């Protein structure tokens, strides 16, 4: 339903929230007309979670890069083929239009808006007031390698959490098995059955996640990131990035800075 009290006054930031009502709202001509008019008066427009469906239905994301909650990204891409959907991003800025993933990603988006207006120091103070992490870069993946492995009922979540704090060290199957109080052979077999991947693959996923966060969110030298994440050799990390993301670290850093 069209909101009451709409005026012709300029709007600084139009934010479209997600939630259960987005399905009906994105099919309501009156609502979409309102969103178009409001966006035309706004300095910038943003959405949180499935609010991107409303922006897309209003035609505001055509030809733009956008994201939404990962669980609805495939549906979003099918429904709006004119949108360049990037399903694993925390938030995306494309010109004056911003979109974000789930509810907590809306906090990251809000902090990014503050930083854009008032600078990083103001955004940092806001994050401190909210007692939240300052702040996940927009290019960071929605998916956590730790959550992927540490599923409900998993026997190895504590082992993977322990490993994530020691990525710069050598994390052999033998060492992980010792942490799990199991023989290496039994541990390797049980780990695959429990998580669907080998211990080596799980460790590589953790290293890639941490390295990508630093590559995209900092100016730290690539060589230092390779050491911190446990790749040690920058060329080894480059090959891992190419396998996982299709781009080397330097290209991903340049791409993140353009967002």
Domain ranges for the chain: 11-130, 145-257
Reported as a single tens digit per residue, the pLDDT across 186-218 is: 999 999 888 888 999 999 988 998 898 889 878
Active site residue 28: no
CATH number for 145-257: choose from 1.10.10.60, 3.40.50.1860, 1.20.1540.10, 1.25.40.10. Answer: 1.10.10.60
For residue 83, what pLDDT is reported?
Answer: 95
Tokens of 222: 């690539």
Residue 14, SS3 per DSSP: strand
Q: In the chain, what percentage of residues exceed pLDDT 90? A: 53
Catalytic residue among 48, 49, 61, 115: 49
Place of tokens 């960071």: 140
Domain range 11-130, CATH architecture? 3-Layer(aba) Sandwich (3.40)
Place of tokens 């409001």: 38
Quote the pTM value. 0.59
Reported as a single tens digit per residue, the pLDDT across 47-72 is: 999 999 999 999 999 999 999 988 88
Reported as a single tens digit per residue, the pLDDT across 119-152 is: 878 888 888 888 775 556 555 555 555 555 655 5
CB neighbour list of residue 50: distance below 8 Å, 6 or more residues apart: 18, 19, 22, 68, 69, 72
What's the rounded Cα separation, in Å, for the pair 114 and 215? 23
Query: Of all helices (H) and strands (E), which one includes residue 100?
Result: strand 97-100
Residue 176, SS3 per DSSP: helix
CB 143 within 8 A of CB 70: yes
pLDDT at 2 over 50: no
Reported as a single tens digit per residue, the pLDDT across 239-258 is: 999 888 788 999 888 877 76
CA angle 52, 247, 231 (to 5 degrees): 115
Residue 122, SS3 per DSSP: helix
β-bridge partners, 47: 16, 99
CB 162 within 8 A of CB 147: no
């Amino acid at each position: 339903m069209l909101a009451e009290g709409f005026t012709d006054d300029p709007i600084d930031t139009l934010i479209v929230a997600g939630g259960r009502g987005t399905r009906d709202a994105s099919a309501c001509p009156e609502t979409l007309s309102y969103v178009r008019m409001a966006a035309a008066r706004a300095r910038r427009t943003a959405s949180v979670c499935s609010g991107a469906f409303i922006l897309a239905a209003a035609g505001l994301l055509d030809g733009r890069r956008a994201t939404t909650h990962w669980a609805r990204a495939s549906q979003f891409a099918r429904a709006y083929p004119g949108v360049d959907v990037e399903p694993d991003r925390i938030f995306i800025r494309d010109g004056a239009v911003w979109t974000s993933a789930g509810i907590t990603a809306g906090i990251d988006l809000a902090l990014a808006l503050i930083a854009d207006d008032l600078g990083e120091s103001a955004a940092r103070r806001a994050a401190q007031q909210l007692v939240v992490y300052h702040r996940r870069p927009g290019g960071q993946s929605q998916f956590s390698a730790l959550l992927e492995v540490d599923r409900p009922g998993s026997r190895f979540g504590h082992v993977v959490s322990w490993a994530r704090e020691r990525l710069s060290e050598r994390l052999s199957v033998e060492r992980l098995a010792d942490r799990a109080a199991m023989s290496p052979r039994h541990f390797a077999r049980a780990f695959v059955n429990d998580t669907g991947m080998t211990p080596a693959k799980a460790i590589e996923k953790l290293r890639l996640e941490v390295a990508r966060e630093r590559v995209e969110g900092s100016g730290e030298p690539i060589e230092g990131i390779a050491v911190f994440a446990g790749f040690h050799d920058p060329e080894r990390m480059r090959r891992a990035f190419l396998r996982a993301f299709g781009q080397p670290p330097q290209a991903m850093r340049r791409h993140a800075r353009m967002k």
